[in-house]
Amino acid sequence: MRTATGADGEAVTRQVVNRLRRVEGQVRGITRMVEEDAYCIDVLTQVSAASRALQGVALILLDDHMQHCLTEASRAGGAIQADKVREASQAIARLVQS
């Protein structure tokens, strides 16, 4: 994952990794629930929570991308800027559709 360099980039990376590890634990818990034949609505509730947690990770990554990659691209201008804006727009569209 390419994030901002320096302390800011390291903090974002740590934050994303920590959240993903929590999601991983949630998914393992969901697996156990299914294996133990838990009530369907309880499983669905946990699936929804894991989905929201992943959306939170996506928002952190998108924010980092906009703050750093788009800023650098705007300085470069031209085709680089247009490509990065299009890339960000497509990522936002994917998030909204999910």
Please state whether 78 falls in left (phi above 0), alpha (psi between -120 and 50) or beta. left
pLDDT averaged per 10 residues in sequence order, the chain, 98 residues:
68 96 98 98 98 96 91 91 92 90
Q: pTM value?
A: 0.80
Integer Cα distance of 54 and 3 in angstroms: 18
Only one residue has tokens 């901002």, namely 4
What is the predicted pLDDT for the residue at 38? 98
What is the predicted pLDDT for the residue at 3? 54
The tokens describing 83, both together, are 């490509």
What is the predicted pLDDT for the residue at 1? 59
Domains and CATH numbers, the chain: 6-97 (1.20.58.1000)
